[in-house]
Structure 1
């Protein structure tokens, strides 16, 4: 079973208000029929560059491409910014980013076990070690910019969702990461490196990154196609390779272990932040 990273996209300027991408492990969120979705909505989904195959209505919006949720605000918002790409399998961002740099993003873990707290600290340390203009700090009280909470969901269609997050809105990071507490996701004794790697991925979505292999999800998931360019262009980052980008922290599906930034991820992060 493959673990897929589900992203909840939420931003006001293109993918901005509730887009969910899930980190799956040999997983697939079971699609319903496109006929569930009104024709005018399908047209908007297609116009954004996403596949309408298997699109269905879910809480908060419309599930497309098995792991992305688009809400009405996202579908009705025009994009004005280009996307970033690394090589043939691209380092790809949404049209919205976190602004007001330099900036400290606060993160709070609520109702989750020790492994999730330690995993959050690990993910934060990895970002902060890069010397970016955006840094992260875990807090235990008060209002955080990003809240990490749990949900409980069994495998479906051969995949299990590990976590979900969203895209920036109004210059702010998406405000929630949801982590699956089902035993089939991380086991009864979750590995901190594994949990931390998924949280690291979901933070990437929160600050505006889409999947590195958005052009072909089969690269990391074994199945699936192009996630679409969301109706905007792509810009190759100078100095990055022209071939597939293995082991990127933003690959659509998890390898079930410890995954952090590769050299091209660092180039992309420095380019944006």
Structure 2
């Protein structure tokens, strides 16, 4: 029976589900608070599942600690969520994949992305390879986005920073775009660097490419019924994900029409090739 790994949620090892990884770089256990009804409603308005979501204090590479609402591999700054900045528009009709209402504007089309190599949070060699391959994949697509990848420690100057958060398990997490700019900090769990056996480079390409996808505005392709646990990340109607024309639809009752090869499927199992599906390319070209 094939094991399933959930992106930035819980690892499955030896058939036993382990606890979710921490989000901070420090060794302190994150403080997790329950969400109020108002925040749960705002999460739904953003198309994010409030089930098991929590408020956590996260310290990023800049040393600034902020409160985030964390759900799966998505983290949203609490202050911006309280202001309802992530509220989605009405759903369109048609057979489509899904995005957020927050995209990258044309003045920020060149994205300086940093693979962090500093002592506290350096990407492993396999993570660096995966990042390079993922960036190459994005740059091959005919869009206005242009990723300029460097490796180093000057995260202040970067538009997007990919780093090793030192936590166990395979997966990662990212922020959605905000203010016309991409989500900046992308955390990759330390366990990702060795997950997948001989396929480890492709797995890292997949995980990092997936999290970059969130940072440029993509939702999970299977948001209506997650492949791993069957949960629905948002409801239909005026709340939920915004559809992208020309891509298959996954309904909330099953996986009919689901693009199962999409890079933005919520789960992975170590057999991934790290490449975009044809419909991922259609979605990227439509948005950018």
TM-score under structure 1 length normalisation: 0.75
The residue correspondences of 1:56-135 to structure 2 (distance < 5 A) are 56-59=54-57, 60-64=67-71, 66-70=72-76, 71-78=78-85, 79=87, 81=89, 87=95, 91-100=97-106, 103-110=109-116, 111-135=122-146
Partner of residue 29, structure 2: none
Shift of 1:103: 2.3
Q: Is the 8 Å Cα contact of residues 150 and 178 (structure 1) preserved in structure 2?
A: yes
Shift of 1:52: 3.6
Shift of 1:187: 6.7
Match for residue 167 of structure 2 among 131, 147, 153: 153
* SS of structure 2 residue aligned to 1:37: coil
Shift of 1:267: 0.6
- Structure 1 residues 47 and 163: CA distance shift in structure 2, 3 A: closer
Shift of 1:224: 3.2
Alpha-carbon distance in structure 2 between the residues aligned to 1:77 and 1:128:
32
* SS of structure 2 residue aligned to 1:140: strand
The residue correspondences of 1:204-215 to structure 2 (distance < 5 A) are 204-215=213-224
Q: Is the 8 Å Cα contact of residues 57 and 63 (structure 1) preserved in structure 2?
A: yes
- Structure 1 residues 108 and 73: CA distance shift in structure 2, 3 A: same
Partner of residue 184, structure 2: 175
Partner of residue 55, structure 1: 53
Shift of 1:4: 1.8
- Structure 1 residues 216 and 184: CA distance shift in structure 2, 3 A: same
Shift of 1:209: 0.3
Partner of residue 13, structure 1: none
Shift of 1:82: 5.3
Alpha-carbon distance in structure 2 between the residues aligned to 1:46 and 1:102:
28
* SS of structure 1 residue aligned to 2:142: coil
Partner of residue 2, structure 1: 4
Deviations 1:212-269 (A, max 9, x none): 000100x2x2x1311015825644513x345111110000001313231111111110
Shift of 1:58: 2.0
Shift of 1:47: 4.5
The unaligned stretches of length 5 or more in structure 2 are 21-31, 58-66, 117-121, 250-256
Q: Is the 8 Å Cα contact of residues 101 and 133 (structure 1) preserved in structure 2?
A: no
Q: Is the 8 Å Cα contact of residues 86 and 264 (structure 1) preserved in structure 2?
A: no
Partner of residue 61, structure 2: none
The unaligned stretches of length 5 or more in structure 1 are 7-21, 155-159
RMSD value, Cα: 3.3
Match for residue 285 of structure 2 among 251, 266, 270: 270
By relative contact order (CA 8 Å, sep 6+), the higher-ranking structure is: 1
Residue correspondences, number: 244
TM-score under structure 2 length normalisation: 0.72
* SS of structure 1 residue aligned to 2:230: coil
